[in-house]
A = this chain, B = another copy of it.
Amino acid sequence: MKTRDKILLSSLELFNEQGERNVTTNHIAAYLAISPGNLYYHFRNKSDIIYEIFQEYEKLVDFYLDIPEDRLLTLDDMTFYLESVFDGLWSYRFFHRDLEYLLDRDPRLRSDYREFTNRCLAAISRIFEKLADAGIVEPQPEGLRAAMSLNVWLVITNWMAFLKTAHAAKASACLTIHELKQGIYQVLTLELPYLTPAYREQVMALREKYRPTMPEQKGMLESPAY
């Protein structure tokens, strides 16, 4: 593999594991056993590395959220969207952690991320619309759909942060993609009241699959209620 690609890959790995704030360019170089000079030959600065990683992330999510316009959506489609989005979130999980700082540092990133958010919100809203077309959820007026989509976005993008902060031990280590996907349970909770009678049972069953297994799993206290 080209050195340039190795830098991107290792940076992502280290960022995900330790947080962007805790990973310096020197760390990355040391991890790859190359010189700092070499790293800076391939990238002008740390921001550029992050920006390229973001572009990969963006491309991935855009690919996942492509919505077929020539047919109705199925429950399987919905499951796929949810699974995919959480997979993406997992692969680039460092990104949302230090988002605000990163956007403050790089105007390109801020502007791109804003558009990315808008595309995602539009996609979520469109999915709701098509789920209504398919008779899975009740149709809703556009305004409500927009507000609901925003709530879905908030839950999705911040579920990981919640898990990490609710964990007893240090955040980075003990978090699995399996736990992360319990976020799907939360998203489906949002949809619950809007389901049509025809699909209610099926979606409830799907939701059950993502139910947090153990109270302890979620890092919650001993509250047995949960």
Q: What interface size band does chain A fall in?
A: 35 or more
Are A103 and B154 neighbours in the complex by a CB distance under 8 Å?
Answer: no
Are B189 and A101 neighbours in the complex by a CB distance under 8 Å?
Answer: no
Q: Determine how many copies of this chain the complex contains.
A: 2
How far, in angstroms, from A210 to B115 measured CA to CA in the complex?
Answer: 24
What's the minimum C-beta distance from A168 to chain B, rounded to whole angstroms? 7
- Dominant secondary structure of chain A at its interface with chain B: helix
Q: Is A176 an interface residue (CB 8 A)?
A: no
Are B97 and A189 neighbours in the complex by a CB distance under 8 Å?
Answer: no
Q: Which of B21, B104, B114 contacts A166 (CB 8 A)?
A: B114
What's the minimum C-beta distance from A32 to chain B, rounded to whole angstroms? 24
Q: Is A165 an interface residue (CB 8 A)?
A: yes
Segment at the B interface, from A60-68, A73-81, A142-150: A142-150
Q: 9 closest pairs, A vs B, by CB?
A: A193-B193, A158-B158, A147-B189, A118-B221, A154-B155, A146-B226, A154-B158, A97-B100, A100-B164
- Can you name 15 extra interface pairs (CB under 8 A) apart from A110-B170, A151-B189? A19-B100, A97-B100, A100-B164, A104-B171, A110-B165, A114-B167, A114-B221, A146-B226, A147-B186, A150-B162, A151-B186, A151-B190, A154-B158, A154-B162, A193-B194
